Chain A
Amino acid sequence: MATNVDRRKFLTVLGVSGGGAVALSGCSTDRVQKLVPYLVQSEDQVPGVPTWYASTCTECSAGCGVHVKTREGRAIKLEGNPAHPVNRGKLCARGQAGLQGLYNPSRVKGPMLKENGAWKEITWDDAIARLAQEVGKASGRVAVLSTPARGTFSDLLDNWVGAAGGTVTRWEPLDLEPVRMASRLVYDTDAVPGHNFAEAHFILGFGDFLETWNSPTEQQIGYAESHGFNGDAARHVQVGARRDLTGLNADEFLSAAPGTEAAVALAMANVISGGGSGPFASLIGEWTPDAAERASGVSAARITAVAREFAAASPGLAVAGGIAAQGDNALALAVAVAVLNSVAGNVGRTVLPAAAVPTGDGLAGMQRLMAAMDGGQVGLLMVHDANPVYALPKSYGFAEKMAKVPFKVSTGHFLDETAEACDLLLPNHHALERWDDLRARPGVTGLMQPVMEPVFQTRHTGDVLLGVARAIGGGFAQFTAASFEEHLKQAWAGSTGGDAGWRAALAAGGAWDGAPAPSSSAAAAPPPPTPAPAFAPPAAPAEGDFTLVAFPHAFLYDGRGANRPWLLENPDPVTKITWHPWAEISLETARRLDIRRGEIIRLVSDHGSMELPAYPYTGLHDRAIAVPLGFGHTSYGTFAQDAGPTPLDLIGPPGSTPWINYAGTRVQLEKTHGFKDVATTEGNPRQLGRGIAEAMPIEYARRGLTVKESHLAAGAGHHEINTPLEVEAIAGWREEQIEARKLGDYAEVHPAWGMSIDLSRCTGCSACVTACYAENNIPTVGYDDVLRGREMSWMRIERYWEGGEDGEPLEARFVPMLCQHCENAPCEPVCPVYAAYHTVDGLNGQVYNRCVGTRYCGNNCPFKVRYFNWYKYNEKAWPEPLHMQLNPDVTVRARGVMEKCTFCIQRIRGAQHDARLEDRQLVDGEFTTACAQACPSGAIVFGNRRDPASRVSEVSHDPRGYVVLEETNVRPAVTYLAKVLHAPEAGA
């Protein structure tokens, strides 16, 4: 245990060795353990009982509210705050992995000074004195680089830099600058408009809005409301060069050449406004469907038909998200989509132009900073919450310009590329260790409070600023607060009014005033934008040229998640690749150049080259090569190191556009004839008639047909699941089983735990996977063992391809697969030591301490949901202090033990214990599994199937309900609800 951890005053009974951190081998009693009590009784900690704190997620700029579960003074899990207007109790994989930022072994453990090129630990007093000295030396030439996130801290920073003399630049990668610029032009407001996905009857996407763009959890919640089947469902058509996760959820995908999405949007607006008349005539007049087809390759007939459907849906919703709004013609696309929403009458209904919010300075601000550094006008650079050395393309030359600054300071949590280039490190507290707030959007401010003592000797940057102010005095005399905590409370005193109000806001997780206020121009039809942004379709690439699409990784995003093993091991939803980057090429390109999966290809641009394993992908346009951002760190801790290159190295210096052109660089492809093993968790990507992921057309779903009736109605032949002999055998078995249920404890009335999963809502986002890892102490195994198929994900998302051949459209089906807790489980009778057995309450129990590791159960499981500990993953998956995240309620499994989904039995037993203490019955919905809790789509429902009034009973009886591999007669406790396919309307 790290030395400073030992000193923490929160040590307590279970603090002996990290709660559940001791592995199964802890039977032995010949070791003397210590019991270390608190000195003073903590008011809000009872050993063995979790304490929850409300806080705000800082993993992206969406500002979701979180509830932090702590045990014995340690944060062990993050869940959504149900009362928060942004994420309504849900949390994505990246948000949940915030915990691995807190406990990351690569965190800077205390203040450090670089002397002769080597880092030296110093004291905080010395560090603050040194910073004060350097601020004086810089004499008005202080530059601070920070994020666009706004709150009380950013106000303090502004004032502090004002007193020091200098500027604050606010910038982050993948900034939504083009969308905001379009808002300025079309809605006259400087903010990304609000999108009401839940009310939309037709969703037209021009880029990802489910993975990383803008506010993904909030958008997914709304998307599941409208696109999930509930009597009817919205249709979703996606336009783009790369079929990302959002594209795979679409009912129809129109593949446009990279950079030409705007032409499609303009042509659709042209169709809706009757041939391009009306206020936008100058913009859309020339973009007939035929012109758009010539530019983009999307057929004019489909453009016309989809446009008509979109207009008729009323309201529909068109979204310019994702990487299409970050590349060539991004501004033209954002404006075109705004116009499209306008002519279709969606503005004020599903598109809510928001009041302007102070945002970042965009790339223009960053360029000003770089010019100032280059020109020697910066005496002191302080980087707060940013990693520009990594996140800007190398061709921008940030590192070289930064080197010209005499003294550089970083307040980052990690020794990342930028911190490495600094002279002084003043590590800030993690968001879970500090007082702070975040203005997520107008009317919504989230609060953060320390949920535990700091893991390391870090210090709140607010306190550092105040300390420097005290040391310098003079112009800094205005900063009178003794600490940032006090400063924050003063700042809130006006709105919360006294201690009670402050406590209420803290408990709620912040303050918000209902729905965001739409700006005044919301209801009115927007005026035509002036000047109309020029849209020039990119020139057709030369022979052998491709367009690079550098898209944000679904979990690593811009690279900030790259040191979190949960995110690295969570398979990319599209390719199912873990732990390393890849280069997607189209099937046609792969065929033409004879490139196989895993073959290393070299990508060469005018600015650099790199080698990556190829992933031939049906969903990619022939002209594009897609590479995920997020890898390629040279300094970000052991998990991030040596993972492979980042496509940023191929992107050229800033052009005319005030945003980084993530999609538009010309690259050539060269074969190397080398191979890399692709660490994918995918088995067979096709269902091969096994009926794992069922789907039915929406007209059958509307009529209430079952899956079998739907197959018959679609013209499939009558198919008996079992032969007559099998049916007879099953009937005999059933009788025997009913007799067996009359024996012993089984005769009593117990709950029968079960689950339902609605595939029409599931988007494959994998939030449930991370929730399961967090709740159940599941170890990550790393690249080598994923290759051997030894990942331990109790909950996994299977992705099956349908069609995609012989001109059929490609369709993806996502199936969350976990232990099915079969009534007639094949794993149970084969266990020679009764480690796998059926509990009286319908669970397929797995007793770790009985298990001797024969693996017969795993061999006999038709779902492949049992996972074996081949190695001592428990000893290497959580390098200190990562082990502090472990859930003390769940045994950490050692080598040689089989494990699998338990339906979160610790939650079941915990709720039962609580109910017994209070002399009452369990109430349906008072607890749920970690996966169901996290699912932003609300696809997973858990409960007691024996209670006819429970939600899971109700949902499981939906006509769309089916069980996987029904012919095996294993009788799963998990009911899936078939996906609903919303094909273009007949004749359209």
Chain B
Amino acid sequence: MSREIIHNADISTAGADSIMRKYVLLAAGMGLAGIAALAVAGRTSDAQQSGPAVADSIAATVLAAGDTAGLPGLRQPIFFRHDIHAGQYKIECQYCHYSVAVSSEPGIPTLETCMGCHTAVSGTDSASRAEIRLLRTAWSEKKPIEWNRVHFLARHVHFPHANHIKAMGPNACATCHGDVARMPQVYKVNNVNNMGWCISCHIERKVTRDCTACHY
């Protein structure tokens, strides 16, 4: 299935820094139209604002269907907003990405984790209420949500998250993943498959540059 993959389109996110490269990859127009139609159908029609908004660090902006089409990053089955969870409510990354400090894998929150809050939290506006309804439906139907993967490392690279958290502290996530706390929809800030990018950090920090540290 063709989908649009948009990396950092025209959006002046406050956290975006100089490493960000601007390029837009659009899939076939049909695919785009299909996705846009889906987006409209999937959300209530009370779209008021036009154009994507800038998230600030205190309160995430209300976004509605019409706003989201222009957001960078992969469209997800549920419009989960890191800017609200990690930005506005300042929930620790590790609350959801539970294994990042103990494993090579960061861990994706289980539906149970989501429902821990969303049994009670139903959303403040119709747009978010619609998304939370999707979550609750998935929970009641016992169907896990198939998130679209934004970051993935080539299979011949082994990246132990835990050791990087250990060395750089629990809030080091942004070093690679960008300021997710300000992203309404997560997009790729750094190409994690660019080895030069890994190595520049390893040189700066005077740590191993041995090939077999990561490749085996």
Contact = CB atoms under 8 A, between A and B. Distances in A.
A24 B153 CA distance: 11
B102 A39 contact: no
A26 B156 contact: yes
B122 to A, nearest CB: 20
Interface string A900-916: 00100110010001001
B113 interface: yes
Nearest to B139: A39
Interface string A21-52: 01110110110111111111100001111000
A849 B211 CA distance: 10
A92 interface: no
A841 B12 CA distance: 46
Interface in B61-119: 74, 98-99, 102-113
A902 B212 CA distance: 10
Interface in A832-849: 837, 839-840, 843, 845, 847-849
B107 A13 contact: yes
B211 A850 contact: yes
Contact of B147 (A35, A745, A837): A35
Interface residues of B, number: 47
A958 interface: no
A36 B105 contact: no
Nearest to B138: A39
Contacts of B105: 13-14, 46-48
B73 to A, nearest CB: 12
B211 A917 contact: no
Interface stretch (B38-46, B47-55, B158-166, B173-181): B158-166
A845 B99 contact: no
Interface in A7-22: 11-14, 16, 20, 22
Given A39-B111, A39-B112, A46-B102, A27 B216 contact: no
A890 interface: yes
B210 interface: yes
Contacts of A843: 212
Contacts of A837: 211
Contact of B103 (A34, A40, A47, A850): A47
A38 B154 CA distance: 23
B205 interface: no
Interface in A661-711: none
A889 interface: yes
Nearest to B104: A48
Contacts of B137: none
Task: Point out which of B99, B105, B166, B193 has the most chain A C-beta atoms below 10 A from its C-beta.
Answer: B105
B65 to A, nearest CB: 21
A909 B109 contact: no
Nearest to B209: A745
Interface in B1-51: 1, 3, 5, 25
B145 interface: yes
A34 B144 CA distance: 11
Nearest to B145: A37
A518 B144 CA distance: 56
Contacts of A16: 149
Nearest to B149: A33
Interface string B173-216: 00000000000000000010100000000000000111111011
A265 B147 CA distance: 71
A36 B110 CA distance: 9
Given A14-B105, A37-B145, A848-B156, A49 B112 contact: no
A906 B216 contact: yes
Nearest to B25: A30
Given A34-B147, A35-B146, A41-B113, A839 B103 contact: no
Nearest to B191: A29
Contact of A849 (B3, B156, B208): B156
Contacts of B163: 913, 916-917
A143 interface: no
Contacts of A27: 154, 156, 193
Given A26-B156, A46-B99, A891-B156, A39 B148 contact: no
Given A34-B149, A36-B144, A46-B107, A905 B212 contact: yes
Contacts, number: 139
Contacts of B193: 27, 29
Contacts of A11: 144
Nearest to B111: A39
**B interface majority secondary structure:** loop
A818 interface: no
Task: Point out which of B105, B156, B191 has the most chain A C-beta atoms below 10 A from its C-beta.
Answer: B156
A835 B123 CA distance: 54
A845 B166 CA distance: 26
Contacts of A850: 211, 215
Interface in A132-170: none
A845 B212 contact: yes
Nearest to B96: A37
A35 B108 contact: yes
A266 interface: no
A742 to B, nearest CB: 17
B215 to A, nearest CB: 5
Contacts of B74: 32
Contacts of B212: 839, 843, 845, 847, 902, 905, 909
Contact of A37 (B5, B108, B156): B108
A48 B100 CA distance: 10
Contacts of B148: 32-35
Given A35-B149, A845-B211, A20 B155 contact: yes
A37 B108 CA distance: 6
A818 to B, nearest CB: 16
Given A23-B155, A26-B154, A916 B166 contact: yes
A31 to B, nearest CB: 9
Nearest to B150: A35
B187 to A, nearest CB: 13
A892 B108 CA distance: 24
B189 to A, nearest CB: 14
Nearest to A42: B110
Contacts of A902: 212, 216
Given A36-B144, A38-B144, A889-B158, A847 B110 contact: no
A30 B147 CA distance: 16
A701 B212 CA distance: 40
A29 B108 CA distance: 20
Nearest to B147: A35
Contact of A32 (B108, B149, B161, B213): B149
A24 B155 contact: yes
B85 to A, nearest CB: 15
A930 B166 CA distance: 28
A199 to B, nearest CB: 43
Contact of A909 (B25, B107, B158, B161): B158
A40 B112 contact: yes
A29 B104 CA distance: 20
Nearest to B142: A39
A889 B156 CA distance: 9
Contacts of A26: 154-156
A885 B78 CA distance: 33
B28 to A, nearest CB: 13
Given A38-B144, A39-B142, A745-B208, A891 B108 contact: no
7 contacts: A24-B155, A34-B147, A40-B112, A47-B103, A839-B211, A891-B155, A913-B162
Interface of A: 11-14, 16, 20, 22-24, 26-27, 29-30, 32-41, 46-49, 745, 837, 839-840, 843, 845, 847-850, 889-892, 902, 905-906, 909, 913, 916-917
Interface of B: 1, 3, 5, 25, 74, 98-99, 102-113, 139, 142, 144-149, 152, 154-156, 158, 160-163, 166, 191, 193, 208-213, 215-216
* A-B complex: 6 closest residue pairs judged by Cβ atoms: A48-B105, A48-B103, A47-B105, A48-B104, A37-B108, A35-B147
